[in-house]
């Protein structure tokens, strides 16, 4: 495995069975570049999985960034991947209970799972 900043690191292309982006909240231009870079590293039949705070979380959820420019929707992530060769298998808004007994709430997340088709 490799851990790195996809704005700076260039791992081997199509070499990873799983590329995971978790709670990546950057400006939309950097997100687009990172998503496209991440897609390059997914091996045939491999997965790109993205989990983050949904844009709806700002108004209706708890936690996460408070700058709407850093939040995104399933449509945003799907559009970021257009033309990369990945097939989106799942892109949805997901509710997640957070907190403890003294302070509970619901965070609104977005989950995307995309697969690179197997090589012929």
Q: CA nearest 114: which of 1, 30, 21?
A: 21
Predicted TM-score (pTM) of this structure: 0.90
For residues 34 and 6, is the Cβ–Cβ distance under 8 A?
A: yes
Q: How far apart are CA 13 and CA 77, in angstroms?
A: 20
Q: What angle do CA 14, 34, 18 make, to 5 degrees?
A: 40
Average pLDDT over residues 94-120: 90
Which pLDDT belongs to residue 58?
Answer: 95
8-47 pLDDT, tens digit per residue, is 777 789 999 999 999 999 999 999 999 999 999 999 999 9
For the ranges 46-55, 62-71, 100-109, which has the lowest average pLDDT? Answer: 100-109
């Amino acid at each position: 495995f490799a851990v790195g900043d996809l704005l700076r690191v260039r791992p081997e292309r199509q070499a990873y069975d799983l590329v995971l982006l978790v709670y990546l909240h950057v400006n939309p231009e950097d997100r687009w570049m990172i998503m496209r870079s991440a897609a390059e590293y997914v091996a045939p039949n491999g997965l790109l999985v993205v989990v983050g705070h949904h844009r709806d979380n700002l108004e209706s959820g708890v936690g996460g960034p408070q700058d709407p420019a850093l939040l995104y929707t399933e449509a945003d992530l799907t559009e970021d991947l257009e033309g990369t060769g990945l097939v989106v298998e799942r892109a949805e808004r997901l509710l997640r209970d957070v907190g403890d007994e003294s302070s509970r709430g619901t965070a609104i997340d977005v989950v995307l799972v995309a697969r690179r088709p197997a090589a012929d």
